Structure 1
Amino acid sequence: MGVNVAGLVVLIVFYLVIFIVGVLAARRKKQNGGTSQMESSIVADRNISTFVGIFTMTATTVGGGYINGTAESIATDGLVWTLAPLGIFLGLLTGGLVYAKPMRERCYMTMLDPFHERFGNVIVMLVYLASLCGDLFWTASILSALGTSLSVIVNLDLTVAIVASAGVTVAYTMVGQMISVAYTDIVQLIFITFGLVLSVPFVLTNKSVGNISPDSTNWLGELNKNLSAQWVDLLIAMTFGTIPWQAYFQRVLSVKTSQQAQVLSIAGGCSALILVIPSVLIGAAGKSADWNGTKLGISPLEIGKGSMILPYVLYEFTPPAVSILGLGAISAAVMSSMDSSILGSSSMFTYNIYKHIFRQKASDKELLWIQRTAIFLIGIIATVISIYVPIIYGMFILAADIVFVIVLPQLTCALFFKFSNSYGALCGFLVGSICRIGAGEHFLDFDSFIHYPWYSEEMGQLFPFRTFSMLCSFITILFVSFLTNVLFNKHIIPEYMDVMGIKCRRNYSYSVTTSDVPCDTAGRSHDLTGATGSHDQSDSVHKESDEKLREQVSPL
């Protein structure tokens, strides 16, 4: 069978529309100007409206993995084990109510700013590597999902499909950074909603699908009592693991006020929960359908292709035109997630690693080109991984768990526990990593070397090891921080042995403003005399204190 020409034409038009919107948004940014190029590229001058913010938050959440993964989980494990939609909804609500306000009020530029402020360079590097792994494997997994979808519906070569989709996404992200990503998300979310909603009636009325009531087809799933602890563990990990991602905080930090940050987070969670309904229905249809009369001839679930249940349902049980529009929805979902991931990782590298660790005096123009280069390289790495690495999903699960286990407790301590310090953060990182990695990962055929309670040779870890590892990391940070503070304050350990300089960092403010100084609606900082200044001006104001700090503490 040759390439579906009509599908290919529609796909090219769709990509052109997305690219043009991204370029026009970048031109609008240049016309409006901003406080600095870095603030403009990373947080869009903190001028994203609530309307646009809700769209970009929702589009980032409702990615290719979200809609494809939900349909797969419904068809294979049932609704009861499809925890991502509920977890993401609860996570965005928690993020909005707890984390969004202090992050926005302190005028941070990236998620790593509180880590740098509280813990220093070593922890920033470690946390960045954990976040980068999560972004890379997440991006690679959804690119792979898109490639397989294109191969089913358009009969396009897998590598060509992945490279083309990644190329368009990287291109408009390099051109306009955050503002382009935000406005393309609006178009992408419209495509996602229209394509999926349109396809559902055709799927449900197809004679091969039949009745999808839970009585006729058990797509609700079952919860074995032996797995109840594992269910709770996964729900907690899904919920709180939604929060510590730069893609999330980049939107929180791009709006004018902390109230807007909370609104778009809560509204994004509600919108994502609503938009998962088509994927749930498609997954249920894939579970109950009679596949014998289809071109495939057999259920994807029976041949180990459960991850492709959504594109196969669209291809087999909707008219060709509708399936192509459904493919547009999948493509839009993938692009809306990919641009957020690569922009988030490149922003943290440029601002937190390159500027504040290696090149403190770098100009805005230099930083802008470093960011574009980082976007390009991260996009290439994710694309290569999606093409050549067959165990992407397992690596993403492990990376996502590490983000939950490591980044969440450190972010919480950096924001809300002022006595936490670098020693506690480093120990917490090590303890959490060992506890999680020790549990093993069956997707990677990585055997466990820690057998938690209720361990089974057949079923693996039944203990809620993810939550346990996160709590171990959190408690370790607090305990070691408290202990080292006492030891140094009481001079039990000489001050010259404070290699991480925690006493010097205690009153050091890395961000544009301290937690006690509010931001105005333009995102600028106010000093105690009432003067306002941009990020560039604030950097120059703090330059002298930064240099004094570096003289007093080690490079750590």
Structure 2
Amino acid sequence: SLLIGGFFFVNPMRSKNYVTVMDPLQETYGNVMGSLLFIPSLLGEVFWFAAILASLGATMRVILDIGGSLAIIVSACIVILYTLLGGLYSVAYTDAIQLVFITLSLWICIPFALMNSATESIYYTATHQSYQDPWIGKIEKQYLGRWLDDFFYLVLGSIPWQTYFQRMLSAASPGQARLISYLSGFGCLSMAVPSVLIGAVAASTDWNKTSYGLPSPLERGESPMILPLVLHYLCPAYISIAGLGAIAAATMSSADSALLSTGSMFAHNIYRKILRKKATETEVLWAMRTSMLVFGAGAAGLAFYSSSVYDLWFLSGELVYALLFPQLCCALFVPSTNTYGSAAGFLVGLLLRLLAGEPALRIPPIICYPACSLVNGTYSQLFPFKTFTMLLTLGTIMAVSYLAGVLFQRNLLPRRWDVC
């Protein structure tokens, strides 16, 4: 995602001196349509902030045996405070420090987890069944469509986020922005290695030899908690604290970026361009600070409902992929598109995604795509419907834009009907 963003999206965004990811959308499709497209982006950022606060609370509960609610409240207050005071500078400097801390802390934990007496060799368990199935799996043929769908969703759906573009647009030059994006892509790949190793260790551990006991985390349905469980039960206490520091640093790093993103988009794209077109810089700054406080408090409140907030964030991310990505592509690379196409694409994409259902939120599908099946009372869509929805949205934007242009240019419709 970062490599594609740096190669295709940085130059068009930098060449026109945009401030947020919403700027090209408002410039091409108007302020009203831009404010509508702001909604999925806002929901995604707020639910993401809530989700990572919830994960920090759960980690604190496992490792330190303290209430997750306290961790959520303290973390939210710290993030909101230093982001309000320092803005992008505080976010950038703290992110640099936190990134170093994450890297060192996670890698320090790996040897202790690997050498624990309850853990078997991960090289052996990669291909042989020991305490559970081999941790290197395979893609079943019937699930290939879903895997491809998730792959494209994660790669392309991670581009149209203000958290990414606020770094690219604030870099000193387009070349530096591209370099940061490329290096970040390789950095993400390297930072995935500790996570894979920790998962492999968990799959290779006889949990009966630890104070955790049986059944294993997999059988208890606690796989999402595997990082704090490995740190707590397979590492010495002081190493667990270092690992907890890595998780806290990662949480802070992500949370402050999400908070600044929502605040800057609201102040620049909604307050300045729609609500108060003659607002001064000071007024816009205070609007941004106020919105960050409101959105941060709202996200902290949502974090207490950890089971549902993750599902809501996933759904919001899918809406960003289905709605925002094709809109951004058209605004940057197909300048002939217009507001009519944008509105039609938004409506088509929103309806198709919602009608496909969401098992995690117990929303049954109205549209059953090919290979849709009912498993244990829950519908499962094996067809790559997220990518299909995105492509159909893209096609709708271009087709309706072209049709509207032809109808008005050839006077097939009265000019007075052209309201956009």
Shorter-chain TM-score category? over 0.9
- Structure 2 residue 308 is matched with structure 1 residue 385: no
- Structure 2 residue 405 is matched with structure 1 residue 485: yes
Report the Cα offset of residue 352 of structure 1: 0.4
Match of 1:191 among 101, 111, 126: 101
Trace 1:68-467 onto structure 2 (pairs within 5 A): 91-213=1-123, 214-217=126-129, 218-298=134-214, 299-388=216-305, 390-458=307-375, 460-467=380-387
**Separation in 2, partners of 1:266, 1:329:** 23
2:187 maps to amino acid: S
Given the superposition, is the C-alpha separation of residues 202 and 239 from structure 1 closer, same or farther in structure 2, using an over 3 Å criterion? same
**Separation in 1, partners of 2:297, 2:181:** 30
Q: 1:147·1:162 contact (CA, 8 Å) conserved in 2?
A: yes
Match of 1:505 in 2: none
Q: What's the secondary structure of 1:297's corresponding residue?
A: coil
**Separation in 2, partners of 1:132, 1:221:** 36
Map Cα deviations across residues 131-153 of structure 1 (whole Å, 9 max, x no partner). 01111111111111110100111
Report the Cα offset of residue 215 of structure 1: 2.0
**Separation in 1, partners of 2:398, 2:304:** 42
Report the Cα offset of residue 191 of structure 1: 1.2
Q: 1:212·1:285 contact (CA, 8 Å) conserved in 2?
A: yes
Map Cα deviations across residues 86-116 of structure 1 (whole Å, 9 max, x no partner). xxxxx11110000011101211010000011
Given the superposition, is the C-alpha separation of residues 259 and 308 from structure 1 closer, same or farther in structure 2, using an over 3 Å criterion? same
Report the Cα offset of residue 204 of structure 1: 0.4
**Separation in 1, partners of 2:238, 2:99:** 19
Match of 1:531 in 2: none
Q: How many residues of Structure 1 are paired with residues of Structure 2 in the alignment?
A: 410
Report the Cα offset of residue 325 of structure 1: 0.5
Q: 2:369·2:381 contact (CA, 8 Å) conserved in 1?
A: yes
Report the Cα offset of residue 388 of structure 1: 3.3
**Separation in 2, partners of 1:242, 1:264:** 16
Q: What's the secondary structure of 1:292's corresponding residue?
A: helix
Match of 1:498 in 2: 418
**Separation in 2, partners of 1:435, 1:266:** 34
Unpaired runs of 5+ residues, structure 1, are 1-90, 501-556
**Separation in 2, partners of 1:367, 1:384:** 26
**Separation in 2, partners of 1:320, 1:108:** 48
Trace 1:47-66 onto structure 2 (pairs within 5 A): none
**Separation in 2, partners of 1:242, 1:490:** 40
1:209 maps to amino acid: T
**Separation in 2, partners of 1:116, 1:446:** 32
**Separation in 1, partners of 2:68, 2:310:** 17
Report the Cα offset of residue 293 of structure 1: 2.5
Compute the TM-score of the two structures, normalised by the length of structure 2: 0.96
Map Cα deviations across residues 54-92 of structure 1 (whole Å, 9 max, x no partner). xxxxxxxxxxxxxxxxxxxxxxxxxxxxxxxxxxxxx11
Q: 1:105·1:257 contact (CA, 8 Å) conserved in 2?
A: no
Q: 2:51·2:306 contact (CA, 8 Å) conserved in 1?
A: no
Q: What is the root-mean-square deviation of aligned Cα atoms in Å? A: 1.0
Match of 1:9 in 2: none
**Separation in 1, partners of 2:89, 2:12:** 23
Q: 1:170·1:379 contact (CA, 8 Å) conserved in 2?
A: yes
Q: 2:91·2:257 contact (CA, 8 Å) conserved in 1?
A: yes
Match of 1:55 in 2: none
**Separation in 1, partners of 2:408, 2:255:** 45
Compute the TM-score of the two structures, normalised by the length of structure 1: 0.73
Report the Cα offset of residue 390 of structure 1: 3.2
1:355 maps to amino acid: R
Trace 1:523-534 onto structure 2 (pairs within 5 A): none
**Separation in 1, partners of 2:107, 2:405:** 57
- Which aligned runs of 4 or more in structure 1 are off by greater than 4 angstroms? none
Q: What's the secondary structure of 2:170's corresponding residue?
A: coil
Report the Cα offset of residue 258 of structure 1: 1.1
Report the Cα offset of residue 317 of structure 1: 0.8
Q: What's the secondary structure of 1:259's corresponding residue?
A: helix
Match of 2:390 in 1: 470
**Separation in 1, partners of 2:52, 2:217:** 19
Q: 2:63·2:244 contact (CA, 8 Å) conserved in 1?
A: yes
Unpaired runs of 5+ residues, structure 2, are none
**Separation in 1, partners of 2:384, 2:19:** 34
Q: What's the secondary structure of 1:391's corresponding residue?
A: helix
**Separation in 1, partners of 2:157, 2:194:** 24
1:492 maps to amino acid: L
Report the Cα offset of residue 216 of structure 1: 3.1
1:466 maps to amino acid: K
